[in-house]
Amino acid sequence: MCNGRWSVTPGKLGSGGIFRPSHLDIETMRLHQLKLEFNAEQDRLILHVLTDDGAEILLWLTRRCVKLLWTALVKMLQASPNVQLQGATPEARNALVGMQHEKALQGADFSKPYQEARERPLGVDPILVGKIQTGRDANGNNVLTLLPLKGQGVNIALDETLLHSFCKLLQNAVTRAEWDIKLDLPQSPLAAPPVEGARTLN
């Protein structure tokens, strides 16, 4: 626990919109899996954050929150050192974001089913996310902080693979929710339009 927030750090992705971490470079709690689901009754997304010791944090994401979250995630993608160093122009940087996204997803593992939680240290009810903060940790990973308006939230360290994979999970969840929201990644003006029926995670 760090500054009143649970801290979890990176890992590879599982079926049904689940990300399974691939490595164990951490300081506090190891991130084991992420899962995003749509709750039709609440008309919200629910984010499951599971650590390797079985602790799970549940978070509600509203439509407004998802829009803010997507903006934060895209800024993280654009701020990647590789993108900044190799992209001489905004168009080149946007093209690099797309290339890195496809490469990262090729290395993601969506094959593992989501595991059951042993405990929920911040309570059995999901936390309604009202604030989003971003930063970097000592290892250079992006850190996404999801907080309620009052009380404890969670810090999630995102390495490059996890960041791109989380973006994909969010896109798929919004598609399943049938919200009138477009979560598009930056593209070069010369990039071809996306093909309908692009792969999704079931």
pLDDT of residue 73: 94
Tens of pLDDT, residue by residue over 126-162, are 999 999 999 988 888 889 999 999 988 899 988 888 8
| Pairing, β 6-9 against β 154-158 | parallel
Tens of pLDDT, residue by residue over 5-35, are 455 555 444 434 444 443 323 334 678 889 9
Architecture of domain 6-177: 2-Layer Sandwich (3.30)
| Pairing, β 13-14 against β 131-136 | unpaired
pLDDT of residue 30: 76
pLDDT of residue 80: 81
User: Which residue(s) pair with 138 in the sheet?
Assistant: none
Q: 90-106 and 160-177 helices cross at what angle (nearest 10)? A: 90
pLDDT of residue 49: 92
Question: Which H helix or E strand runs over 6?
Answer: strand 6-9
* Helix, strand, or coil (residue 198): coil
Domain boundaries, the chain: 6-177
- Which pTM was predicted? 0.77
Tens of pLDDT, residue by residue over 57-113, are 999 999 999 999 999 999 988 888 777 667 667 777 777 787 777 877 776 776 788
